[in-house]
Amino acid sequence: MNIDEQFDSFLAELGVEMERPGDRLYDGDAIPDVSIFQASRDHYGVFYRLDIVERKPELRVMVPVDKGLVKMHIYLVRLNKRMPLNASLTEIALYEGSAAYERGREGALQHLLYAVAEMMKQLFWSGDLQSMSFPPEIEVYPLLMHDEAQTKRK
């Protein structure tokens, strides 16, 4: 059972079901090429998961909240399809280079992911979480949100 399946199971025990934006080609079963966890330096209690999935960067932002059983909201942040970085990362991931290049590929991808994620974080935090309004360079999808009606039923 991978970490996403474990998390889904944990949430299911709490009566929480994660949203799956199917019309956005979300594939919860896709295995990341690179995956990194970070604690935010700028936002208390916030954690990030940085992934390269199918040669595209993804950022999950885990934000603590005071209400609900899980006490957090999770957002999936992706670059807008028109962003040139998507094509660049795809080309880099598909490139077959020398043995020296291949030995350093994963480290290089991690460094690229850090750089792209910093931009995605800045764009995310410059948006408005209440209205779910964000700069056009990113797309933000709520994956886990507090459901007040569900809490009242418990």
| First and final C-alpha spacing in the chain | 28
Check residue 20 and give its pLDDT.
52
Q: What percent of the chain has pLDDT over 70?
A: 76
Check residue 13 and give its pLDDT.
67
CB atoms within 10 A of CB 3: 10
With cut-offs at 50, 70 and 90, classify the pLDDT of residue 149: very low
Task: Kindly report the pTM of this predicted structure.
Answer: 0.72
Evaluate if residue 27 carries a pLDDT over 90. no
CB atoms within 10 A of CB 48: 19
- Which residue intervals of the chain are DSSP H helices? 3-13, 84-94, 99-125, 148-153
Check residue 147 and give its pLDDT.
60
Q: Residues 20, 24, 27, 28: what is their CA dihedral angle, to the nearest 10 degrees?
A: -30
Evaluate if residue 122 carries a pLDDT over 80. yes
CB atoms within 10 A of CB 18: 15
The rounded distance, in Å, linking the Cα atoms of 102 and 106 is 8
